[in-house]
Structure 1
Amino acid sequence: MQTGKLPVLLFCSLVMLGCGQQKKNSDPERPNIVIIMADDMGYSDIGCYGGEIHTPNLDHLAAEGIRFTQFYNCARCCPTRASLMTGMYQHRVGLARNGQNLSQEVPTLAEVLQENGYSTGMAGKWHLSRTQAVRPASEQLKWMAHQVDYGPFAPPETYPSSRGFEEHWGVIWGVVNYFDPFSLVHNQEPITEVPADFYITDFITDKSVELIDRFSGKEKPFFLYVAHTAPHWPLHALPEDLERYQGAYEGGWEKLRTDRYSRQLEMGLLDTVHYLLPENSSGKTWAECEEKETEANHMEAHAAMVDRLDQGVGRIIRKLEEKGELDNTLILFLADNGASYERGYPPGFDRPGFTRDGTPIDYEPAEPGPETTWGYLGSAWASAANTPWRYWKKESFEGGIHTPLVVCWPGGLKGKEGTLNHGVGHVMDILPTCLQVAGIDYPDVFRGNQLSRPDGKSMIPLINGEVSATSDTLYWEHEGGRAIRIGNWKIAALEGGPWELFDLSKDRTEVHDLSGIYPERVSKMNAAWEEWAVQMGVLERE
């Protein structure tokens, strides 16, 4: 149901829309919404969060908008995407683990917006459908190399085009060859051939720009979800992007981490009192590294992939400007989890062993980048990419669950340009926020099912400075990693490991474990986490 009411205190500047050259849709107080998600990107990779990678377009959005310093995701690809799409903890909607179907009993953000008059489109990675390999394994490898056809890549009723998106150009599975991707579709139709110069990051940008062109011609607002695969492994990058970073990482991961930390301090993102810089979580040192050139080449490829993503963001911004839509478009940029520690996975399941023409793929490349290589970033570089936090993707420590969040809305965030917001938010807050700015109530019923309210809360009070957190208590669990944050106190644990306790008001980077000093606090917080875990189906009630 559309309420037609907007948060007036923050968005009073909307009354000025249309006074200049910007085009108006039929209801100028209902903004277009563009969500751009990076995949396995480190917290400090982009320039406006301390990175040396060339990201002028994301930096521009930050200069014109808000950077959040305490925004959380769900530590892994599918869980975060499920939470983004539904406003719920991922466990409630079928995605406690990767590779499952998103619940059909809860609406997606696209479905709610579409029902209330928005055009809806998506370009990129879905990864919210059950992905199941065929047998034997040799046939799965052929399927991924486009040498055989085993039909739909997942249940078609779970594809984006069945979950509220009028148009979807992208991939259903989570891992792809960037030059010839498996599970590439237009809506429910497989795209079986790609041109020789195909590169999926550019494809996602191309289709995003096309959708803006198409939707801008309609007399209603639009929602566009741009879900990049970059910079998730494999480390596939274009030669011209690789060239820009040649030699950039010869100093190693320790130097990268301290350099980024210094820039974060200069930017005011951090301070030296509350954000001590922990050692690299991998325990590896550059001095002891025996393959320095090869390792540096891997980080160069990662940087090149982020660079190309940013180039695409620039094209999207320019298209919005060209169509007169930029002022009334709310843009959010974030990542699904921290940089990936993963390395060493052999061919199988979602990793091809050879290309379409049968050329073998090298899984231990000295120079990753081309289609015939399959490189991984690895834990040491991941720890540097996640500066200043500990750990990485999958874990419930800050390095796994922290994401940059840039929010830009030129016509709706007047006076907020270039600001930092230190409030606490979560990816599940994005759905309620988008609905509030669109003047839409969350539905009571969906497909005959009575709905409970989303777990997430609108970020408007956080943006207005009325609250310091959207929720007083946040919970995490993924593959045994777990955490709970209550106010500024947090406990976190690795899979099978003990709880560590941190006072985030004094120790944002989780350097000082206080569990031995305050065992009663740990016990109370553990009890709260276990109660939540029972509700989520993670634990059984005793």
Structure 2
Amino acid sequence: MAEQPNIILILADDMGFADLGCTGSEISTPHIDSLAANGALLTSMYNCARCCPTRASLLTGLYPHSAGVGHMGADLGTPAYQGFLRSDSATIAEHLRPAGYRTLMSGKWHVAGDFEPRNVDSWRVGDVDHPTPRQRGFDRFYGILDGATHFFSPHYMLEDDSRVQVFPDDFYFTDAITDKAIGMIEESVADDAPFFLYLAHTAPHWPLHAHPEDIARYDGVYSAGWDAIRTARHETMNDMGLFASNWEISRRDEDVHPWSAEKNTDWEARKMATYAAMVDRMDQSIGRLVAALKRLGQFDNTLILFLSDNGGCAEFMAEDGWAKFFPDKTHDGRQIVMGNRPDVMPGDALTYQSYDKPWANVSNAPFRLFKHYVHEGGISTPLVAHWPKGIRPDGARHAPCHVADVLPTILEAAGVPYQKEVGGHAIQPCEGESFLPLLKGGDWARSQPIFFEHEGNAAVRAGRFKLVRQHSADWELYDMEVDRTELHDLAGRGGRQERDLVAQYQDWAQKVGVEDWDRQLPKLLKAWGLQSVDG
């Protein structure tokens, strides 16, 4: 057998389709852009619209409901919604480790049940319903277990099985997880073992935290406002010939006012500048990782995959909303000003803000809607793939793929079989399909439709057609080859094709255990101790 490749899977958090230089952005991402230019860029990769459902699907090759994370971390009472990885699923690490791979993870886990960030002493880390990466096939782990953290002062981190409680003055999460990942790789190379690294970023997920020098690089860039930036990104995409067709850009979201009506322009521009700085720093860290691979002689035979877990996030960081779930003091006792306040500029350790819907609309250009939703803005991510020994640089590929397809693709590249039993548990058949032939430049198309469901938002993509609806709304139908921005609804005119898509979705939803969201929502609010929740 040929020498097995190393594999690095890099996941960004809440980064929209248009936030990379190679997809039309003004944000500086030269290292990711270089990987795309010298590898492959998939323009129709789909995620699951939200952080942990995507991570569960990505890690297991199953739809999120089949993996146990049909919603988020709260246990809503059924196997599809238990909130942590099911025992009849197996992670990429659990498949690769029996074949001799060192299995390494650095970053955000978020497939291990619910945690209360303000009450870390109550956490039951390592219980059956709160498994750590080390319990799901990873030899090494450094990072966080829940869904978000303070970039300068994390509330709870683990290194392998021990809690990290001391942080240097220059600590920054994006830098730290990359440094640890490089160290893990160095250990594996010293032992002459192939490695699988899962580098799971929290950038650019809120809170908006970045190094001052990175923010300064974007000073004044966003003073033109969200309308101008969004239009410029779309025009750049079209000039690049990014997609198979130059689709019309979706209209500004109906909840977003024009930039000309914005009163706090300096604050708004600073929010987007900080967000851009977070993406920029993530790209810098990927550059350091690539440099380490070259130094160690591992670059040419390492398959690198980069993508995002959902579209840009429209959540508003109100003091009495999402912000109230997180600690309001740093680890050294300094008070944090929580929430999106125009009198507080974001970016440093004593702030906790989000970039909000208008800028998320920019991140997701040219598509509609955001994280949470299964219209294209919520589920579309570019996938960058690079492997000098295995992939021929040949421009963009446009065939639709799903994050569940990543696991079988990795296993095929490594020459490793899909495990049918792990830890005494029979493993469900893989629901993803390897797209390695697509990466190698061949003709490839998924044999099965792609399905989506999150909080009652639902869709099915089969060939050129997509059936989609928001929770409690009517089905919409789009021809994605001529209208991927979902502006011209064909519902009611699709005939047998439309009826077949509805039937296929209903069959899939029953098979994987999708529950009516109106019945699930009260359970979630009770679990969170809420009557309602923003975002």
TM-score when normalising by structure 1: 0.89
Alpha-carbon displacement from aligned partner over 1:36-89 (angstroms, at most 9, x marks no partner): 110000111110111110111111111110001111111110011001110000
Give 2:494's aligned residue.
518
Give how far 1:153 is off.
4.5
Q: 2:84, 2:428 → 1: CA distance?
A: 20
Q: Deviations over 1:253-300 (max 9, x none)?
A: 1111111111111211036x5511111224421112222111111101
What pairs with 1:86-485 in structure 2 (closer than 5 Å)?
Answer: 86-99=60-73, 100-133=83-116, 141=118, 143=119, 149-150=121-122, 152-153=124-125, 155=127, 158-270=131-243, 274-281=246-253, 282-346=255-319, 350-356=325-331, 357-365=333-341, 366-413=344-391, 416-417=392-393, 419-464=395-440, 466-485=442-461
Deviations 1:485-535 (A, max 9, x none): 111111111122111110112112111111143365433322211111111
When residues 305 and 334 of structure 1 are mapped into structure 2, their CA distance, relative to the original with a 3 A threshold, is same
8 Å contact from structure 1 (residues 94, 103) kept in 2? yes
Structure 1 residues 188 and 251: alpha-carbon distance in aligned structure 2, compared to 1, 3 A threshold: same
| Alpha-carbon separation, structure 2, partners of 1:114 and 1:419 | 33
Is 1:56 the counterpart of 2:7 in the alignment?
Answer: no
Give the superposition deviation at 1:539. Answer: 4.0
Segments of structure 1 that go 5 or more residues without pairing to the other structure are 5-27, 134-139
For residues 88-136 of structure 1, the C-alpha deviation after alignment (integer angstroms, 9 at most, x for no partner) is 0010011001112111222110011011100111110000111233xxx
In the TM superposition, residue 392 of structure 1 has moved relative to its aligned partner by 1.0
AA matched with 2:45: F
Equivalent-residue separation in structure 2 for 1:64 and 1:482 (angstroms) = 35
Taking the aligned partners of 2:492 and 2:246, their CA distance within structure 1 comes to 21
| Alpha carbons of structure 1 residues 349 and 538: separation in structure 2 relative to 1, 3 Å | farther
Q: How has the CA–CA distance of structure 1 residues 243 and 483 changed in structure 2, closer, same or farther, with 3 Å as cutoff?
A: same
Partners of 1:435 and 1:521 lie apart in 2 by 34
One-letter code of the match for 1:275? Answer: W
Task: Provide, for residues 161-185 of structure 1, a one-character-per-residue CA deviation record: whole Å limited to 9, x for no partner.
Answer: 1111111010001110111112210
Q: CA deviation at 1:354?
A: 2.8
- Aligned position for 1:13: none
Q: Counterpart amino acid of 1:249?
A: Y
Q: Per-residue deviation at 1:467?
A: 4.0
Q: Quote the Cα distance in structure 2 between the aligned partners of 1:215 and 1:202.
A: 20
What amino acid sits opposite 2:469 in the alignment? Answer: A
Give, in whole Å, the separation in 2 of the partners of 1:496 and 1:118.
46
Task: Say if 1:395 and 1:481, in contact at 8 Å, map to a contact too.
Answer: yes
Query: Which residue is equivalent to 1:8?
Result: none
75-84 or 211-220, which deviates more: 211-220
Q: CA RMSD in A?
A: 1.8
CA distance, structure 2, for counterparts of residue 248 and residue 75 of structure 1: 29
Partner AA of 2:247 in structure 1: Y
Q: Residues 253 and 95 (structure 1 numbering): CA distance in 2 closer, same or farther, change over 3 Å? A: same
Determine helix, strand or coil for the equivalent of 1:531. helix
In the aligned structure 2, how far is the partner of 1:514 from the partner of 1:316?
46
Q: Is the 8 A contact 2:312 2:370 kept in 1?
A: yes
Other-structure match for 2:52: 78
Q: Which moved more, 1:443-452 or 1:109-118?
A: 443-452
The equivalent of 2:15 in structure 1 is 41
Q: Distance in 2 between matches of 1:104 and 1:514?
A: 41
CA distance in 2 between partners of 1:192 and 1:437 (Å) = 38
Q: Distance in 1 between matches of 2:115 and 2:302?
A: 37
Superposed CA offset, 1:195-246 (max 9, x none): 1111101101111111111111122211011001000000011101010001
Q: How many residues of Structure 1 are paired with residues of Structure 2 in the alignment? A: 500
Contact 1:361-1:374 within 8 A present in 2 as well: yes
Shift of 1:418: 5.2
**C-alpha separation between the residues in 2 aligned to 1:242 and 1:473?**
42
The whole-number CA distance in structure 2 between the counterparts of 1:324 and 1:358 is 44
Runs of 5+ consecutive residues of structure 2 not aligned to the other structure: 74-82, 517-535
What's the CA shift for 1:350? 3.9
Determine helix, strand or coil for the equivalent of 2:229. Answer: helix
Query: What is the deviation of 1:301?
Result: 0.7
Give the SS at the match of 2:178: helix
Asked if structure 1 preserves the Cα contact closer than 8 Å seen for 2:125 and 2:132, the reply is no
TM-aligned CA deviation for residue 341 of structure 1: 0.6
SS at match of 1:158: coil
1:31 maps to 2:2: no
Q: Is the 8 A contact 2:256 2:357 kept in 1?
A: no
Contact 2:15 2:204 in 1 (8 A): yes
Paired with 1:313 and 1:466, the residues of 2 have a C-alpha distance of 28
Q: What is the distance in 2 between the residues matched to 1:349 and 1:374?
A: 10
**Residue aligned with 1:333, SS:** strand
- Distance change (3 Å), C-alpha of 1:516 and 1:151: closer
In 1, Cα distance between the equivalents of 2:475 and 2:436? 33
When structure 1 is superposed on structure 2, of 87-96 and 363-372 the one drifting more is 363-372
- What secondary structure sits across from 1:190 in the alignment? strand
> Residues 154 and 449 from structure 1, CA distance in 2 versus in 1: closer, same or farther, beyond 3 angstroms?
closer
Q: Offset at 1:461?
A: 2.7
> Retained in 2: the 8 A contact 1:233–1:375?
yes
Q: Residues 294, 349 of structure 1: CA spacing in aligned structure 2 closer, same or farther, 3 A cutoff?
A: closer
